[in-house]
Copies of this chain bind each other. A is one copy, B any other.
Amino acid sequence: MTETAPRPTLEAVAARAGVSRATVSRVVNGGDGVREPLVERVRKAVEELGYVPNQAARSLVTRRHDAIAVVVAEPETRVFADPFFARQLRGISKELTAHDNQLVLLLTEGRDDHARVGRYLAGGHVDGALVFSLHLDDPLPGLIQRAGVPTVFGGRPGWSGDQRGVVYVDSDNRGGARDAVRHLAGLGRTRIAHITGALDQTSAVDRLDGYRDVMVDADPGLIVEGDFTPTGGERAMRELLARCPDLDAVFAANDLTAAGALRVLRASGRRVPDDVAVVGFDDMLPVAEQTDPALTTVRQDIEEMGRLMARLLLRGVDRRTGERVGGAPSSVVLPTTLVRRASA
């Protein structure tokens, strides 16, 4: 265990197989242009010696790292506490693994970390970056653009700078919100309230816009700002009940918010969905199914978002190294679906 066996090099394999380094290299990298018997011999030598290429040496000459950074800006604990991000990460991991890429995770908190991440990305340690930019005033997109690293954002970055070349993957937050509100309207509800998410995030803004699309001349009193947390949902719901006791439906910006709202509604004696219908967003599974009553919500395929981000990025990275591709990748907005459960 403490004994570090000297790892075999290309040279050693070449000697054993009785060929040159170049030939071994060719075989290891796909084996094109090497005749079958030689390929066999080299493969055998690799096997016997347990040869594994030295990635550092390889990167040194190829300038590729087969590694992608995943940057998660995490100013608040909340973000990380919900499973949303974990699911996305899983999708990303799957896709990267399938293409033999490593995932380098960079978690940031605060300004100093931003600088550090910027330096790291500019340092050319990775071939590209997947960035979850969560807040409107986040300096990260700017830093990254300057670093010149191919990047795909998770969620539309709320960034006022140069938009050219910005690629992102997002859910159709606005469309999903419209569906939710229309569903409530279709149930005959007319006093439909909205508890927003944290409005410094584009997803919250987009969902609010979707609500407004349907409720064109809604009572402004029916809109209360939340923050994507259950506690925020509770507070907002209390405020709503005080302001508009006659409301008959609530569209919450996410499931956690809805869960909080549900508790307050129950405590206030309202029956859900009979008195007040509630719709959430995300279909965050441990939560949405476990509320009482089970939550009607807007589902987004989170894992697929992650996978797509990775795919888009890898395409961009390939383009960079000069391989043929069909044009620059562009942003993708994934559809959402309404999941009907008991709450609306």
Contact = CB atoms under 8 A, between A and B. Distances in A.
Contacts of A94: 107
A256 interface: yes
Interface in A87-144: 87, 89-90, 93-94, 97, 102-107, 113, 116, 119-120, 122-125
Contact of A104 (B3, B104, B122): B104
Contacts of A116: 97
A290 to B, nearest CB: 5
29 contacts: A1-B145, A4-B320, A52-B119, A52-B123, A52-B124, A53-B123, A54-B60, A55-B56, A56-B56, A56-B59, A56-B60, A70-B105, A80-B90, A81-B83, A81-B87, A82-B286, A85-B86, A89-B107, A93-B105, A93-B106, A94-B107, A97-B107, A97-B113, A97-B116, A102-B104, A102-B120, A102-B125, A103-B104, A103-B107
A320 B286 CA distance: 43
Contacts of A67: 104
A263 B294 CA distance: 12
Nearest to A70: B105
Nearest to A93: B107
A285 interface: yes
A5 B93 contact: no
A2 interface: yes
A60 B7 CA distance: 13
A230 interface: yes
Nearest to A124: B7
Interface string A1-42: 111110100000000000000000000000000000000000
Interface residues of A, number: 58
Given A53-B123, A263-B290, 15 more contacts: A2-B320, A4-B320, A5-B148, A7-B124, A52-B119, A54-B60, A55-B123, A56-B60, A56-B65, A74-B90, A80-B87, A81-B286, A82-B286, A102-B125, A263-B292
Nearest to A260: B290
A256 B145 CA distance: 42
A75 interface: no
A216 interface: no
Interface string A248-278: 0000000010011001000000000000000
A320 B1 CA distance: 10
Contacts of A125: 55, 102
Contacts of A230: 286, 290
Contacts of A256: 286
A160 B187 CA distance: 59
Interface string A176-206: 0000000000000000000000000000000
A317 to B, nearest CB: 12
B86 A165 contact: no
Contacts of A52: 119, 122-124
Contacts of A105: 70, 89, 93, 103-105
Contacts of A65: 56
Contacts of A4: 148, 320
A57 interface: yes
